[in-house]
Amino acid sequence: MDIADLDNLRIVLDPIGQAGVALALMLVMFSVALGLRIDDFRFLIEKPLLFMGGVAAQVLALPLVTFALILVLAPPASVALGMIVVACCPGGAVSNLMTYLSRGNVAVSVALTATSSMLAALLTPASILFWSHSYEPTASLLKTLDVSPFVFLSQTTVLLALPLVLGMTVAAKAPDVAARIRQRATLIGASALIGIVIYGIIYFIDILIPVLSVIGVVVLVHNALAFATGAFAGFVLSRRSATRRALTFEIGIQNSGLALVILLSQLKGLGGAAAVATLWGVWHLIAGSFIVALFRSWDLEGNWFGRQHNN
């Protein structure tokens, strides 16, 4: 298969499959909402510039950097769409884990993840629409597929917002119940996303091999720029290496499983876009683990990036 043929590839789900994907998406957002606490947003009051700067890096800077990369690389429209959807999704629990493993500021990481997840209900679909329609090839592709901006925005917002509001309501009104069911909901939701990513790998394995070198390079460069954007934001916003590390992972690790679910349920299962989300889901774990090891080795060597500062 030629790289350009990816724009014509579709993943067709039957009604049961579509319902399952939508349910997985809602379950993930519900489990995230169950874990949201007022303390997660304390940084908004204590360090508003750091907090708002981190949010801006996540919801504005990364999509902007992604758009610039698309203009430079000029990939097929479906591949560009996959890059946009991944960049517009919030971070996830993996960024919190990698921040912890690298001895970063977990509190900052959790606060930013909580905020981006809460804002995702409105900002993710709106951001996807804005950036995809700002690039003519993706705008034309979506028009060809008869993807209605209003329908996409309304359906995706409901799919994200409804479980988010429900989960936050349960957490506020019945915290004991939320604590009991959160672990199971998180496990089921995470398993569903992992299953969807594995399905994507199996589905695409024969298709990806001929074009892996091209899509692989796109994903590698895109992810490297995401980590670099986070690191740069960290240097601008804080002198503490732990906080810089948190921002590095918060921007570099995106919820690619969520991106894949949105692509399958709302954007006609575009092959090139889904391939990008699938590869990103594998690669950012590899790249993130390497960066964790790098940070830990710098701590042992007393590298300048590993030194702690007081403010």
Give 214-239 pLDDT, tens digit per residue: 888 999 999 999 999 999 999 999 88
Residue 301 has pLDDT above 70, yes or no: no
Give dist(CA 299, CA 302) in Å, integer: 5
Name the pTM for this structure. 0.84
Output the CA angle 78-261-54, nearest 5 degrees. 85
Q: Which two tokens stand for residue 125?
A: 């679909």
Choose between 61 and 36: higher pLDDT: 61
Q: Which of 285, 290, 211, 256 is nearest to 83 (CA)?
A: 256
pLDDT over 70 for what percent of the chain?
86
- What residue ranges define each of the domains in the chain, with the CATH number in brackets? 3-301 (1.20.1530.20)
Give the contacts of 181 (CB within 8 A, at least 6 positions apart). 34, 170
Residue 304: what pLDDT? 47
